[in-house]
Amino acid sequence: MTLRGRLTAAFLTVVLGPVLLGAFFVGSTLSAVDRGRATERLGVAAAGVRTSVDALCQQLRAAADAVALVADPAARSRAADQVVGRGLAAAVLIVDPAGRTSYATAGGPAGPWQDCAADATTGPVRALAAQVRLRDPAGADLGTVAAAQPVDPAFVARLAAVTGAGVTLLDDPGRITHTTETREVRAAVLAAARQADGDRVTGTTDGRYVRRVGPAPGQPLPLVLSVPGERPPGLYAALVGAVVLAALLAVVAAWRLARVTTRPLVELAGAVDRVAHGDLSTRVPVRSRDEIGRLAGAFNRMTRETGSYVAALTSSRDQLRGHLAVLGDTLASTHDLQRILRVILHSAIAATGARAGAVLLVDGDGALVGQCVEGLDGRWPTEDPADPATLRVPVGAGVLGRVAATGEPLRGRWEATDTPTGEPSCETYVAVPFAAPRGTEPRPERPGHPPADSDGSSSARPAPRRDLESRRDLEPSSDDSCALGVLALYDRLGADEFDDDDLVTLRTFAGHAAVAVENVRVHEEAQRLSLTDPLTGLWNYRYLRESIRREVERANRFGRMLSVLALDLDRFKHVNDTWGHAAGDAVLVEFARRVRGEIREVDLAFRHGGEEFVVLLPETDARGATIVAERLGAVIRGQPVPVEVHAGEVVRVPVTVSIGIAVYPDHAAGGQQVLDAADEALYAAKAAGRDGYRLARPPDPVPTQEIPVVVAAVSPPDGLPRAGAGDGATAAQGGASSGPHPPRQSRGR
């Protein structure tokens, strides 16, 4: 029996069955449509809330940045008042590093202030705030600047006007703080909001729909949005009337209805089969406006949107792979290693659809250390899941260790029987090694204190391994390149495991990571060589000029003193002439080591040239400088330097040092002048017999100049002095007795 015959018999046997089913279908469909529209409206309203809060946070952050960019504290306070006066923020608060309030504008909102960068609240929110770090030109921390805007009923009303929905602000326990809802619907909205979870939409008893928004990163306010339903109030009464009327016509329309019903169903079934075989261009003709027609229209929209999504995803993947060369050029143009690794990891996750990932570098102890992680919260195998440093895997151990040791990429599924090695827990993984570019050798270690890069990072010492494989060949090739680290991704979305295409894509990103890491290493080495002395490891004369300028500016700014020690090894030429230049180099190296051991971390030691050295003592007066000079002289003369002059023969060379001391601003008015003053004091110490120190003399006072004044023979009637003609003899006498004397140039200027 065909479907049409069975439907006809069913209509004739049970008349009201299909009618009731149709009425139920219409009611449920209208309810679903009503809920869907309400969900869309709430989604648009949620997006509007996030956009409005984000715009406010950006405005507050810009206002705080504008105040933080002002260097002078007094001007910074005026800038804060101007920001408030222009309406960019309701209040500005400046806090020093100790947490004390340096300046606060008047009329600010009451606390607590909710930070825009936070993702949760702990109580009632009175204001939104954005804060930035306050630093001086040298990079020292001076505190924070915070700009705030009150969260009050007017703010909630503006959000409601922007979103077109009712807005309710909650505090942490779930009580209403501010709302635009009427008193009659507040209780229903609050009850529905307590049942809402995440972005899920919940209905109320009076036909409204409620959705919670936040708190979340970038939107820290716990808000509840509500919109009224659009379902007609007399819907069910109309359906009952339709059922009664349909019952009278059911017998007459049974055969016709069966025929009309089965034809689009057959067409829809055939279309579903074609879509299941991958033909997303299939369309179903819409022959009516009833439920079947609506179903056909929904099916057509579904296939059309699915085809658009597939095309967009394919195009995005092709564009991403096509622009990898541009990404490589961008990564190679910066030396901020952490930023480079974040860009590479985020791009790799987006290209492969992974849930999480990590970039690990090999350190000097032969272990892989996580430098950049993403999406690994709650997956750590240690007791401290919030510390990224817990991602540490020995080379050769576990999946990541085997990849670093063998140079071969691995992908697969994590089995429950695998032994934990400090790696994050996952279901599937893919890991690719990356190495230094071919022909690059590890840089040698040198003595001294090389400067860190701008981001504070330092390159790990590489270990020998097999080179990166080619982009298309899955078999590794062996050469003399050095392993730098591993790029790993976890838990691919939309698939059971990572495939070969993901592996090829990840190899490309690993290659960019290798180039970026090596560029940072080369940059650090070049920077270190340009600023340090290769023999002693101390800072060189080039860095001395920059440091003395910076320290003098800092002393001026904070009203502090700066002491300069000029050191010179006594009779160093005799050491070179007696035991050779190799022995002289050994004496210089040992002298530099002892100097570093006697000064503070904030002090700076330089090799000025030959056997001459300079030490800068920030925030140190003359008394403190003499104490340091006495300590340096004692540690140098107290123990001769052992030097190997021949094979197995060690000679202990006695060494003494002469030291000149100058203090800024007591002995000079500038950086070069205080160096010259210390140098003159050094010559005085040598002239006094060496092995001692001398303090620079205070500068000569600036000579004054007398100005001749013409003396009149008779006072004017008004008693006021006059300039101009007077008694020539008197004027000549006055000029002879008090004539000008040219000023004498002070020493060292």
Cα angle: 217, vertex 223, 227; to 5 degrees:
130
Query: Could you give the maximum distance between any two Cα atoms of the chain, in Å?
Result: 146
The two structure tokens encoding residue 499: 């495939």
- 141 touches 158 (CB < 8 A): no
Give dist(CA 745, CA 701) in Å, integer.
10
| Mean pLDDT calculated for residue range 425-442 | 73
- Distance of CA 273 to CAs 72, 259, 268, 283, 430, Å? 74, 22, 9, 12, 35
pLDDT at position 385 over 80: no
Work out the pLDDT band at 676, boundaries 50, 70, 90. Answer: very high
**Cis status of the peptide bond prior to 153, with omega within 30 of 0:** no
β-bridge mates for residue 485, sequence order = 361, 434
pLDDT at 683: 94
Of 600, 593, 551, nearest to 140 by C-alpha is 551
Mean pLDDT across the chain, nearest whole number?
Answer: 77
Work out the pLDDT band at 675, boundaries 50, 70, 90. Answer: very high
pLDDT at 54: 86
pLDDT at 474: 33
| Mean pLDDT calculated for residue range 307-336 | 68
pLDDT at 565: 95
pLDDT at position 227 over 80: yes
Give dist(CA 83, CA 73) in Å, integer.
15
The residue ranking higher by pLDDT, 162 or 250, is: 162
Spacing of C-alpha 35 from chain mean position: 41
- 637 touches 656 (CB < 8 A): yes
Give dist(CA 617, CA 661) in Å, integer.
11
Work out the pLDDT band at 740, boundaries 50, 70, 90. Answer: very low
pLDDT at 466: 32
pLDDT at position 584 over 50: yes
Work out the pLDDT band at 663, boundaries 50, 70, 90. Answer: very high
- 379 touches 425 (CB < 8 A): yes
pLDDT at 438: 57
β-bridge mates for residue 84, sequence order = none
Q: pLDDT > 90: what percent of the chain?
A: 16
Interval 264-302: pLDDT, tens: 778 888 888 888 888 888 888 887 787 778 888 898 889
pLDDT at 488: 87
541-695 adopts what CATH topology? Alpha-Beta Plaits (3.30.70)
Interval 103-151: pLDDT, tens: 888 888 877 788 887 766 666 778 888 888 888 878 788 889 888 888 8
Of 69, 70, 109, nearest to 89 by C-alpha is 109
The two structure tokens encoding residue 258: 């069966």
- 67 touches 80 (CB < 8 A): yes
Interval 696-706: pLDDT, tens: 988 877 666 66
**Cis status of the peptide bond prior to 451, with omega within 30 of 0:** no
Give dist(CA 730, CA 735) in Å, integer.
8
pLDDT at position 461 over 60: no
* Boundaries of every domain in the chain: 1-231, 234-317, 323-531, 541-695, 704-749
Place of tokens 């002002």: 70
Place of tokens 């700076």: 604
- 691 touches 637 (CB < 8 A): yes
| Mean pLDDT calculated for residue range 181-193 | 75
Interval 482-518: pLDDT, tens: 567 888 888 877 767 888 888 888 888 888 778 878 7
Give dist(CA 306, CA 739) in Å, integer.
100
pLDDT at 702: 61
At 283, which amino acid appears? R
Q: What are phi and psi of 40, to 5 degrees?
A: -65, -45
Q: Dihedral of CA 485/490/494/500: which sign?
A: positive
The pTM for the full model equals: 0.38
- 87 touches 70 (CB < 8 A): no
Of 398, 352, 355, 394, nearest to 373 by C-alpha is 355
Of 100, 94, 107, 96, nearest to 149 by C-alpha is 107
pLDDT at position 171 over 80: no
Burial category of 376 from C-beta neighbours within 10 Å (exposed 0-12, middle 13-18, buried 19 and up): buried
β-bridge mates for residue 749, sequence order = none
Spacing of C-alpha 646 from chain mean position: 56
Of 648, 645, 680, nearest to 661 by C-alpha is 680
Residue burial 475-485, b: 16+ Cβ < 10 Å; e: rest: ebeeeebbbbb
Q: What SS3 state is found at 173?
A: coil
- 128 touches 53 (CB < 8 A): yes
- Strand order from edge to edge, sheet including 166-170: 176-179, 166-170, 223-228, 208-213, 202-203
Could you confirm whether domain 323-531 is CATH 3.30.450.40? yes
Quote the radius of gyration of the chain (alpha carbons, Å). 41
pLDDT at position 321 over 70: no
At 74, which amino acid appears? A
Instruction: State the DSSP code for 67.
Output: H
Q: pLDDT > 70: what percent of the chain?
A: 75
pLDDT at position 440 over 60: no
| Mean pLDDT calculated for residue range 224-239 | 75
In DSSP notation, 279-294 reads: -TT-------SSHHHH
Interval 635-659: pLDDT, tens: 999 899 998 877 778 889 999 999 9
The H or E element containing residue 94 is strand 91-95
* Angle (deg, nearest 10), helices 235-276 and 3-13: 170
